[in-house]
Chains A and B, each alone.
Chain A
Amino acid sequence: MSLSLILLQLVNGVHYGLLLFLVAGGLSLIFGLLGVINLAHGSFYMFGAWIVWWATTTTGNYWFALAAVVIFVAAGAWVLERAVYRRVYESSPLVHVLLTYGLALLLDELRSALWDDEVHSLAAPESLRGFIDLGEGLPSYPLWRVFVSLLCLCLALGLWWLSARTRLGAAVRAGVERREMAEGLGLNTPRLFSCIFILGAVLAAVSGALAAPISSVYPGLDSQALILSFVVVVVGGVGSLSGAFVAALLLGVADTFGRTFLPEAASVAVYVVMFAVLVWRPEGVLASRR
């Protein structure tokens, strides 16, 4: 086990963790602010991947397809929030679970009806298909992964800026902390909820679209993304963006190392981390909430 292999896996893990953060960050915000357990969150990730595959094969341009993902998913999330989610904000978690479980099933069937149930592969955009030479004795690293990691980092920074430096972010933080108080002070929560829901959905979809050239496009993507981002939220703490960031990186690295060094138990690695965190700090690694 050479040092370069460990370094390479570390880079891969961070890359995976950053993608995970995009899905889980939105989910965590939706939990924290809207109080909704969204089992359909993985479906946005899935649609991101499928729409980008479909639009790329139809138009031949990945960037155009990425724009299509943002537009379609934002529109879909807006409709869903207005038509369905808004009706259950005050209901119990059990109602959320049922509702979003049903939605996840419907969205998966919609995906199946729109396209098919096959596995599809997607090439990265031509300009980013190359490799970066890391030097003597090291394997070259795909340019696309570097680009995706950087883009995710930028998006994470943008989220941090949005959360820490803007009025919207302040409103969100106030809403997560004490929703009733924030409402009492005149916060327009319905509009805020719509914004955050759409933001979360679009982030998840972009993550799916960015991951598609690496991991290919297949039917089970929704459950996979959903459950991993649940684990991230448990580890990071509900409603905490920084917690989700740390947790996503931690789990991304854990998963990648598990796959490399212990392939039989790889899928369980993230859960082991989660249980460890639960013992160590049940409220999440950063334990920022209240």
Chain B
Amino acid sequence: MFSRRAARHGARGGSGASADGAWLLILVLPALLSPLLFAEGFELQRLARFPIFAMLAMSLAFLVGSAGLVSLGHAGFFAAGAYGFAMLAGSCGAPPLFGAAGGLAAATATAALLALASGVFALRTRGIYFLMVTLAIGQVVFYALLDIPFFGGSDGIFLCGAPAQFFGLDGSRSYYVLVSASFALTVLLFWFLRRSYFGRLLRAGEIAESRLEALGYAVFPLHLAAFTVAGAVAGFAGALEAMRFRIVNPELSDWHVSGLLLVMVVLGGRGTLWGPVLGAVLIIGAEEVLVTRYPEDWRVGIGLIAILVALYLPGGLWGSGLWRRVTRSIFGRGGGGDGDGRSMAFAGADSLTVNGDGRSVALVGEASVTSHDVGSSERRQLMPAGAARKKLNDNDGDGDGRHVSGHFDGDGDGDGDDGVVVNDGGVDGDGDGGVVVNDGGVDDDGDGEGGRLK
């Protein structure tokens, strides 16, 4: 069952895939905690940046990888959590409303509420629009923090009160332990969410939104829940960031932070549990090195990394097929399937059936058959098999071979898009690389990205 599931989900969705389980925590946690032995004080606080950004990247990857929602405003929720903590648990003058634990909870709740409220607006849109609207949400947070005197302006807020201590450790050690524990909990949370029914529905929605809706699921609440969860975790990470040097400022919500988070997510591997962690560690590490070496123009390095990832590694490092290609070249053959993770889209409807819920298995089976028949049979006759398969990779279901097109007729019934499909078939036939062919043809360069990038 386990291995079948892994094979079926391919590398991206493989919650059960062996290289992507929560058990890796057993290896990661000791490494994460080891600085407690040789570092202290300021050094520990600096190092805590790695797990904090790993948590942030994981939360964004949940949106991008599982739900297919590319957000460019994630730093807004990060900052909301940080300011929430600063104002509720670290205020000067009047005694703070909460202690450290209450403050963490309150900060998370603040960010979650903000995500819920803004998600209602943002999720009315998709694709490019969603990206721009989330960017705008991040900017609203940024300007609100900057312009409203209540939030301390560009200087931000210093936190008052003593840092929390426990286990008889000093302030920075306690803090580091707290961050490490939070990191571990976040890994477990997303491990669980990705395996859960909710996570599966999200992925199904990413693969074939119109089909999921045809099955009677409302996609909007699913997406809103995912957006809220991601925002809440970002806010939690923000609260930890506020505790780090006990200062917050509007820079936390700068859109460049959101961009950097996306680089982490893509570099690591957006559809995986551990990829974002890897991406965060690599990017934060690179940033630390670059800032020390080239304090004037370190952003050149980050910019180059972003460009190189976009051009040559859009599938990410973790579980993109890159790993499998390496093992295949060493051991002769790699994992199951065709090894590029694209087969998953074809098995999109099938992947819904692995939830173990007998009733919905039947439902899914029927519906997938009908949707294949209605939606794709004519197209298949018109197109070579390869093109038909790639056609199914077209997520928004409008059959135009582009993932984002600003409109979602979503019915795939050939209401005029068929003209395009015929054209595609013709273009495929003479092999000069129409849009759809190119879509899959990107894979020819062997980077495993396929046409399924989101």
Checking A101, A106, A267 against B263 with a beta-carbon cut-off of 8 angstroms, the contacting residue is A101
Inter-chain contacts of A264 with B (CB < 8 A): 147-149
B128 at interface by CB-CB < 8 Å: yes
- Given known pairs A39-B259, A91-B314, A179-B435, the reply for A102 and B427 (CB within 8 Å) is no
**Alpha-carbon separation in the docked complex, A265 to B145 (Å):** 11
**Alpha-carbon separation in the docked complex, A150 to B453 (Å):** 44
Q: Does B310 contact A99, Cβ atoms closer than 8 Å?
A: yes
Inter-chain contacts of A179 with B (CB < 8 A): 435
| Contact flags A221-252 to B (C-beta < 8 A → 1, else 0) | 00100010011011001110000000000000
B154 at interface by CB-CB < 8 Å: no
B395 nearest CB neighbor, chain A only:
A92
Q: Does B297 contact A113, Cβ atoms closer than 8 Å?
A: yes
Chain B interface SS verdict (over half) = helix
Inter-chain contacts of A112 with B (CB < 8 A): 296-297
B143 at interface by CB-CB < 8 Å: yes
Q: Does A37 contact B427, Cβ atoms closer than 8 Å?
A: no
Q: Does B434 contact A183, Cβ atoms closer than 8 Å?
A: yes
Checking A35, A37, A109, A268 against B303 with a beta-carbon cut-off of 8 angstroms, the contacting residue is A109
A274 at interface by CB-CB < 8 Å: yes
Checking B132, B270, B300 against A230 with a beta-carbon cut-off of 8 angstroms, the contacting residue is B132
A107 nearest CB neighbor, chain B only:
B303
Q: Does B129 contact A97, Cβ atoms closer than 8 Å?
A: no
B223 at interface by CB-CB < 8 Å: no
Inter-chain contacts of A104 with B (CB < 8 A): 303
Which among A84, A234, A274 has the greatest number of chain B C-beta atoms within 10 A?
A234
Q: Does B442 contact A90, Cβ atoms closer than 8 Å?
A: yes
Binds B, one of A2-10, A48-56, A63-71, A275-283: A275-283
**Alpha-carbon separation in the docked complex, A238 to B132 (Å):** 11
- Given known pairs A105-B302, A109-B299, A282-B124, the reply for A94 and B143 (CB within 8 Å) is no
Which residues of B11-25 are within 8 A (CB) of A? none
A128 at interface by CB-CB < 8 Å: no
Which residues of B301-323 are within 8 A (CB) of A? 302-311, 314
Inter-chain contacts of A279 with B (CB < 8 A): 121, 124
Shortest beta-carbon distance from B36 to chain A in Å? 34
- Range, interface on chain A: 35 or more
Inter-chain contacts of B143 with A (CB < 8 A): 267-268, 271
Inter-chain contacts of A97 with B (CB < 8 A): 70, 72, 131, 259, 262
Q: Does B453 contact A91, Cβ atoms closer than 8 Å?
A: yes
- Given known pairs A93-B70, A102-B310, A109-B297, the reply for A265 and B147 (CB within 8 Å) is yes
Checking B147, B424, B438 against A267 with a beta-carbon cut-off of 8 angstroms, the contacting residue is B147
Inter-chain contacts of B125 with A (CB < 8 A): 234, 278, 282
Which residues of A79-97 are within 8 A (CB) of B? 84, 87-88, 90-97
**Alpha-carbon separation in the docked complex, A289 to B409 (Å):** 13
Inter-chain contacts of B101 with A (CB < 8 A): none
Chain A interface SS verdict (over half) = helix
- Given known pairs A180-B400, A266-B147, A271-B140, the reply for A98 and B124 (CB within 8 Å) is no
- Given known pairs A238-B128, A275-B121, the reply for A98 and B310 (CB within 8 Å) is yes
Checking B136, B259, B266, B401 against A271 with a beta-carbon cut-off of 8 angstroms, the contacting residue is B136
B423 at interface by CB-CB < 8 Å: yes
Q: Does A180 contact B310, Cβ atoms closer than 8 Å?
A: no
Checking B129, B314, B419 against A95 with a beta-carbon cut-off of 8 angstroms, the contacting residue is B314
B388 at interface by CB-CB < 8 Å: no
Inter-chain contacts of A183 with B (CB < 8 A): 427, 434-435
A94 nearest CB neighbor, chain B only:
B70
**Alpha-carbon separation in the docked complex, A279 to B121 (Å):** 7
Q: Does A234 contact B132, Cβ atoms closer than 8 Å?
A: yes
Inter-chain contacts of B453 with A (CB < 8 A): 91-92, 94-95
**Alpha-carbon separation in the docked complex, A105 to B256 (Å):** 9
Which residues of B389-426 are within 8 A (CB) of A? 400-404, 406-407, 419-420, 423-424, 426
Inter-chain contacts of B400 with A (CB < 8 A): 180
Give 9 A-B pairs besides A264-B147, A267-B143 with Cβ atoms closer than 8 angstroms. A35-B404, A84-B307, A90-B442, A94-B64, A98-B307, A227-B136, A265-B148, A268-B144, A282-B125
Interfacial residues, chain B to chain A (CB-CB below 8 A): 64, 70, 72, 121, 124-125, 127-129, 131-133, 135-137, 139-140, 143-144, 146-149, 255-256, 259, 262-263, 266, 270, 296-297, 299-300, 302-311, 314, 400-404, 406-407, 419-420, 423-424, 426-427, 434-436, 438-439, 441-442, 449, 453-454
A-B contact pairs, 5 of them (CB 8 A): A35-B404, A97-B70, A99-B307, A105-B302, A180-B436
